Amino acid sequence: MRRLVAQTSLEPRHLVLPMFVADGIDEPRPIASMPGVVQHTRDSLRRAAAEAVAAGVGGLMIFGVPRVEDRDATGSVGLRPDGILNVALRDLANDLGDATVLMADTCLDEFTDHGHCGILDDSGRVDNDATNTQYVKLAVAQAKAGVHVVSPSGMMDGQVAAIREGLDAAGLSDVAILAYAAKFASAFYGPFREAVVSGLVGDRRTYQQDTGNSREALHEIALDIEEGADIVMVKPAMAYLDIVRAAAEISPVPVAAYQVSGEYAMIAAAAANGWVDGRATALESLFSIRRAGADIVLTYWAADAAGWLA
């Protein structure tokens, strides 16, 4: 009876698995603040990706973690064909073809020595336009490596329009754009910064959304849609379900929501201590994001949840 009258569905195809691939490691490296999540080697990434796809996940979102000594002020290692992210994307594109949707994080924070999402000017502030120029190069490099979707996450003004124009000019018009359209300056990103060995000093409040501003978030979403975003995303998810709902009500394109590292870590830690049923709590949290209106959910539980839902 419950299944017959259920109003919200959660299926493996709704889920995208974020994955980290690191340069200079010989075996997967656990991320202490994200129990069960690792920095992968190229080989272990290929195996884990194949398992996730076999479980039925809708897509994979890949983050690159270069060696610290390869990072610089402009994030140039992210553009290099031999950079860890681009070689890993080629591996997965060759292995998986169109069996899943291959996505890449299109941002500079993993690749810069200062840890910010863009290029800094002489005063130490992010230069919006110079950053967009670099984003275009990054997106083209990822598209040439084989991704189906590039995912600008830096919250620069005009980033979607710049990337769309750049991809089209490079003959890559079939590559889609998932825009981090409402990315909030959140405390829930802490474990992620361990995962990518971030060198960030300070914060990103000059370019990420203010926690209290819902109308501003919807304005940013509308701008990205106007610029040509194929999917818009709200990040974090659980702490911003009202924004997910409001986005779903106005968006003509699919809405994604990212259950971020801190949201994952809280439940994983509580489960490890026996305070909650980990599986039941994880699934309930994913249902809440779907119920709010997200068409796509990025979650570190994607592969596990796909098995639980089978």
User: Can you give the pLDDT of all 310 residues of the chain as single tens digits?
Assistant: 998 999 999 999 999 999 999 999 999 999 999 999 999 999 999 999 999 999 999 999 999 999 999 999 999 999 999 999 999 999 999 999 999 999 999 999 889 988 788 888 888 888 999 999 999 999 999 999 999 999 998 888 999 999 999 999 999 999 999 999 999 999 888 887 777 777 666 667 677 889 999 999 999 999 999 999 999 999 999 999 999 999 999 999 999 999 999 999 999 999 999 999 999 999 999 999 999 999 999 999 999 999 999 8
Nearest-angstrom CA–CA distance, 260 and 184: 11
Q: Residue 194 sits in which domain range?
A: 8-309
CATH assignment of the domain containing 159: 3.20.20.70
- Assigned domain for 2 exists: no
Query: Which class for 190: exposed (0-12), middle (13-18), buried (19 or more C-beta within 10 A)?
Result: middle
- Assigned domain for 250 exists: yes
Residues labelled catalytic: 183, 235
- Assigned domain for 180 exists: yes
Beta carbons of 167 and 137 less than 8 angstroms apart: no
- Assigned domain for 211 exists: yes
Domain count of the fold of the chain:
1
Q: How many residues does the chain have?
A: 310
Beta carbons of 136 and 162 less than 8 angstroms apart: yes
For residue 201, what pLDDT is reported? 66
For residue 199, what pLDDT is reported? 66
Nearest-angstrom CA–CA distance, 109 and 111: 5
3-state helix, strand, coil in the chain (%, to 5): 45, 20, 35
- Assigned domain for 1 exists: no
Nearest-angstrom CA–CA distance, 7 and 25: 45
- Assigned domain for 176 exists: yes
